[in-house]
Amino acid sequence: MKLLYKILLWNIVIVAVCLGIGGYSFINFVFQTSLERETKQALDESSILQFAFETAALNIPSRYDVLQDTTIEEIGYSLERGGQNNGTRMLHISDEQQETLYLGDGFEVDEEFLVQIPNDSKIYQLREIQGRYYIHTGCKMKALDRVLYLETLKDITLIYEERKEGFAVYRRVIFFVLLCATIVMYLICRWLTKPIRLLTMATRKMSEGDYGYRARVMSNDEMGQLTTDFNLMANALEDNIALLEDEIRTREEFIGAFAHELKTPLTAIIGYADMLRSRKLDEEKAFVSANYIFTEGKRLEAMAFRLLDIIVTKRLEIEKQRVDTKKIFSYLRELYGGYSQIKVMCQYEPAVVLAESDLLKSVLINLVDNACKASQEGGKVEILGRKQKNGYLFAVKDYGMGIAEEEYDKIINAFYMVDKSRSRSKNGAGLGLALCVEILKLHDSHLRIESKLGEGSCFSFVIPWKEVNGNETEPES
């Protein structure tokens, strides 16, 4: 059953029970009050009749002061019809032996009640006779020499009928009130449960793949808060899904590029190897073929190591140490000092940076290698180290071929090469910068590329640093 109908049903049940109990109690209260009033009236009337009877008995002349049975009957008759009696009062008068002396029309004698009448007080009971209701009172009275029983029956059917009529009217009122309440409550419940319906719709849409769908916030209450939170959760979910999709796409591209990069050298290796085993080649051709197999094999090996580096780096958690920049630059100077075609110069300010020494060297070597590859013979490459407010800046600058601006984002992707044949001829596989990016991520840093086609490039990044004594600027090496 829907929540809306559950709330509605419970409301109707509660309202119906409350109205039923309330109405029943009220009508019964009115009835009891009327009954008490009628009972008091009946007892008062009984006293008045007793007094009237005793007075009448005294005033009727009789022989030897004896009250005759016929006289009692006459008085009873006149009392029953006298006063304001409109047929709702009946009398029964009986003697000491409870023998009837006067019996009003329709009075049904109750022997048990008669014997219970005490000497000095009145008693009463409620009776139903032939579908009508009465208050039956009884008392003892003394008139001249006689002790008599006086009983009255007062018709109170009217108040029972009034109660019955009251219940019937109230039933109709309850029905009407419930009908109106049901309509009003239905509209209120629909309005209150609207945010739930909107949320349900949003979850359904999202489960069908529409991650951009959001539920409308309708109020500032708890439901509004829930909807806002749901939308926030949906935003986070959408972002995560976009990220995952992006990652899947990147991986697919990576695998595609990897397969392609493997295929090219392997095809050449297989081709040359086949030629070597199936034909008898002269010495020079055999050397060229073997050399090709060797260089392509070396390239594949380098690629495999780089790939391994990237994968390991992605999973790595580094422990940063204090690294003296002097040591780094000395190492680079030694490494590239023997280059004859390209001049590699180091210029730096000494400082201590927080980094993983080998990984930092790896980044710089990759960048310097790329710079050398991009430079003409006789060109120069600068490796710079500068202290800045936000950290220590490393920059590798060349005056070579440069990169077009639209390539900036692409060259950091694995296997991407601007000029494939040129890169391959220089043992490139498009993995160097991808590795640099991963290593810099571990150092909470990123690679900055500035370049102009035909003018050269500058690859830089910033690492946290600490001051050491004195500044040092190295001349060209």
Q: What type of residue is 398?
A: D
Residue 309 beta carbon to ligand ADP: minimum distance, rounded to whole angstroms: 12
Residues 6+ apart with CB under 8 A from 446: 437, 440, 461
Query: Which two three-digit tokens encode residue 127?
Result: 């009776």
Q: How far is the CB of 427 from ligand ADP (least distance, A)?
A: 7
Q: Which residues between 51 and 80 bind ligand ADP (CB under 6 A)?
A: none
**Region 382-401 residues binding ligand ADP, contact defined as CB under 6 A:** 398, 400-401
> Within 13 Å, how many C-alpha atoms sit on residue 296's CB side?
19
Q: Report in angstroms how near the CB of residue 340 gets to ligand ADP at its nearest.
A: 20
CA angle in degrees (0–180, nearest 5) for 244-248-254? 140
Closer residue to ligand ADP, CB minimum distance, 434 or 463: 434
Minimum CB distance to ligand ADP, residue 405 (Å): 12
CA distance 228 to 232: 6
**Does residue 417 touch ligand ADP according to CB under 6 A?**
yes
Determine, following the binding rule CB under 6 A, whether residue 457 of this chain makes contact with ligand ADP. Answer: yes
Piece of 110-118, 121-129, 163-171, 426-434 that binds ligand ADP (CB under 6 A)? 426-434
DSSP string for residues in 318-359: ---EEEEHHHHHHHHHHHHTT-SSSEEEEEE--EEEEE-HHH
Q: Of these, 351, 430, 439, 440, which contacts ligand ADP (CB under 6 A)?
A: 430
- Give the orientation angle of helix 3-59 with respect to helix 69-81, to 10 degrees: 140
H or E stretch at 275: helix 222-278
Nearest to 166 by CA among 20, 28, 19: 28
Q: Which of 419, 444, 455, 476 binds ligand ADP (CB under 6 A)?
A: 419
What span, in angstroms and rounded, lies between the C-alpha atoms of 313 and 363? 12
Question: Nearest distance from residue 305's CB to ligand ADP, in Å?
Answer: 12
Q: Residue 53 CB: number of other CB atoms within 10 A?
A: 21
Between 16 and 418, CB nearer to ligand ADP: 418
Q: Per CB under 6 A, does 411 bind ligand ADP? A: yes
- Identify the CA nearest to 194 among candidates 221, 213, 234, 212: 221
Considering only 198, 393, 431, 439, the residue that binds ligand ADP (CB under 6 A) is 431
CB nearer ligand ADP, residue 187 or residue 304: 304
One residue of 67, 370, 392, 393 binding ligand ADP per CB under 6 A: 370
Tokens of 266: 């392997």
Nearest distance in Å: CB 288, ligand ADP: 24
d(CA 67, CA 57): 7
Nearest-approach distance from CB 273 to ligand ADP, in angstroms: 25
In the bound complex, what is the minimum distance in angstroms from residue 411's beta carbon to ligand ADP?
A: 4
Question: How would you class 463 by CB atoms within 10 Å of its CB: exposed for 0-12, middle for 13-18, buried for 19 or more?
Answer: buried
Positive or negative, the Cα torsion across 118, 122, 125, 127? Answer: positive
Give 346 or 403: the residue with its C-beta nearer to ligand ADP: 403
403 binds ligand ADP (CB under 6 A): yes
Round to whole Å and give the CA distance between 116 and 123.
8
Choice between 156 and 383, CB closer to ligand ADP = 383
Q: Which of 103, 269, 374, 395 binds ligand ADP (CB under 6 A)?
A: 374
- Choice from 101, 433, 439, 463 touching ligand ADP (CB under 6 A): 433
Q: Are 381 and 434 in contact (CB under 8 A)?
A: no
Q: Which is nearer to ligand ADP, 96 or 455 (CB)?
A: 455
| DSSP tag of 376 | P
Q: Smallest distance, Å, CB 414 to ligand ADP?
A: 8
371 binds ligand ADP (CB under 6 A): yes
455 binds ligand ADP (CB under 6 A): no
Kindly tell me which of 50 and 451 has the beta carbon lying closer to ligand ADP. 451
| b/e 213-234 (16+ beta carbons within 10 angstroms → b) | bbbebeeeeebeeebeebbeeb
Instruction: List the structure tokens of 57.
Output: 């008995």
> Residues touching ligand ADP: how many (CB under 6 A)?
22
199 binds ligand ADP (CB under 6 A): no
Contact partners, residue 111, CB within 8 Å, separation at least 6:
98
Least Å distance, CB 367 to ligand ADP, is 7
CB of 381 to ligand ADP, least distance (A): 9
User: Can you tell me which of 353, 428, 438, 443 binds ligand ADP, judged by CB under 6 A?
Assistant: 428
Q: How far is the CB of 374 from ligand ADP (least distance, A)?
A: 3
Contact call for residues 400 and 342 (beta carbons, < 8 A)? no
Rounded to whole angstroms, the Cα distance separating 149 from 76 reads 12
Per CB under 6 A, 418 contacts ligand ADP: yes
* Residue 440 is a binding residue for ligand ADP (CB under 6 A): no
Helix (H, G, I), strand (E, B) or coil at 90: strand
Q: Which stretch binds ligand ADP (CB under 6 A): 103-111, 162-170, 193-201, 412-420?
A: 412-420
Q: Tokens at residue 269, please?
A: 């290796």
Q: Which residues in this chain contact ligand ADP in the complex, by CB under 6 A?
A: 366, 370-371, 374, 398, 400-401, 403, 411, 416-419, 423, 428-434, 457
